[in-house]
Amino acid sequence: MHSPVIPTDYSPAQDLLQGKVILVTGAGDGIGRAAAESYAAHGATVILLGRTLAKLEAVYDAIEAAGGAQPALFPLDLATASEADYANLAEAMDSTFGHLDGLLHNASLLGERRPIASATWPAWAEVMQVNVNAQFLLSRALLPLLEQAPQASIVFTSSGVGRRGRAYWGAYAVSKFATEGLMQVLADELENTSRIRVNSLNPGATNTAMRRSAYPAETPTVNPAPQDLMPAYLYLMGNDSLGVTGQALNARA
């Protein structure tokens, strides 16, 4: 289910996200960091969620130094977060902002690269917890706030191995298939009843810590930097993608 709806020459307006409140998971590094900084540069107030406070603080400082709106920090380890943690997050956001315009599910774990036959249960379970269960818990907790926005966008992060399985990608690949499933079910549920659009985005090979760990022998710079993908990430968060929902998209052609 690939759809070419992201214009290849998309050029976002500087004020595309002015006044919007957007939460990014895994905002401390890689693609999540680039997305948080890019959303802020286009006018959004971003909520930085991640497990390493020092990294989130560095992103916070970078956004403030660039003149962006003051972000909010929400340190949370998605591997161990409880339902109460998600409820607390929703409550804090409700009292501070009263609504949410965008939710980028970006945080993921790569996990073990080995055959299913020798995959270990703790590693499998952790990947499914972070990459799938946390997305369900976070989406469920934040849906009431997304319903309060005039138009809202939920973006799930997929992968090539979440659209066609590949040997030795184990729980990571399976978690990305589940991500596509969660996206489709949610998009279908919301299609006629709300102003929330829901899509998945495959960034493609990108020069981040995850990619370097999956392909240690590869020259990192053969892949684009996270910043190079931002037109697609901005398109899906901004009102130029109104009406696009239930789609499995690619950040690059």
Ligand X SMILES: NC(=O)c1ccc[n+]([C@@H]2O[C@H](COP(=O)([O-])OP(=O)(O)OC[C@H]3O[C@@H](n4cnc5c(N)ncnc54)[C@H](OP(=O)(O)O)[C@@H]3O)[C@@H](O)[C@H]2O)c1
Site string (48-67) toward ligand X, x via CB under 6 A: --xxx--x------------
CA distance linking residue 244 with residue 12, whole number of Å = 16
Kindly state the helix (H) or strand (E) to which residue 83 belongs, with its residue range: helix 83-96
CA distance linking residue 18 with residue 16, whole number of Å = 6
Query: Residues 118 to 157: which contact ligand X by CB under 6 A?
Result: 130, 157
Q: Is 39 a catalytic residue?
A: no
Count residues binding ligand X (CB under 6 A).
27
CA distance linking residue 41 with residue 66, whole number of Å = 8
Query: Residues 9 to 48: which contact ligand X by CB under 6 A?
Result: 26, 28-32
Q: Does 246 bind ligand X (CB under 6 A)?
A: no
Whether the CB-CB separation of 226 and 46 falls below 8 Å is answered with: no
Nearer to ligand X, 107 or 190 (CB): 107
Partners of residue 200 on adjacent β-strands: 156, 248
Q: Does 111 bind ligand X (CB under 6 A)?
A: no
CA distance linking residue 58 with residue 118, whole number of Å = 38
DSSP 211: H
Stretch that binds ligand X, among 3-11, 16-24, 66-74, 101-109 (CB under 6 A): 101-109
Query: Residues 150 to 209: which contact ligand X by CB under 6 A?
Result: 157, 159, 203, 205-206, 208-209
Interface positions with ligand X (CB under 6 A): 26, 28-32, 50-52, 55, 77-79, 106-109, 130, 157, 159, 203, 205-206, 208-211
